[in-house]
Amino acid sequence: MPRKNVRERKHTAAIGEISLTDQSLKKSCDINVMMAKFAKTGIAPISNKSPRFADVSNVKTLSEMYELSQIAQETFQELPAKVRKLMNNDASKLENFVLDEANKEICLKHGLLVQEKAPKKPQPQEVVIVKDSTTKVVE
């Protein structure tokens, strides 16, 4: 039964321009075609990809992440211009810059890294053996 009052869509492309839309996938992406197939067969479309599950209860909201990004950008801008220039004024290059051993002195000088203190060696402790009447000496 043909549907009434259905307006036919017109597709236009500028003359001389190549359309980037792949029309060969038109039917496989059309929800109406999918639902008609489901009504006919009773089988829903199945994805080839396996589902992914993750605990996202600790993930921050978009606004919190945006604020964190802004704080990081502002903090990066507070670095001296000479240091920022070494990273082409790109905050995303900061991590690799700091992790590079060749830049250790610069990072220490400008407070990006803190000098590690050598761990203290434990002092040997004196052990005293006390003999009492219940102690048996085995020779």
pLDDT at residue 26, rounded to an integer = 86
Would you kindly state where each structural domain of the chain is located, as residue ranges? Answer: 80-115
DSSP, residue by residue, 64-132: HHHHHHHHHHHHHHTS-HHHHHHTTT-GGGHHHHHH-GGGHHHHHHTTSS-PPPPPPPPPPPP------
pTM of the predicted model, to two decimals? 0.45
* Furthest C-alpha separation in the chain: 110
Residue-wise pLDDT tens for the chain (139 aa)? Answer: 556 666 676 666 667 777 777 788 888 888 999 899 999 998 887 778 888 888 888 889 999 999 999 999 999 999 889 889 988 999 889 989 989 999 888 888 888 888 888 777 888 888 777 777 665 656 5
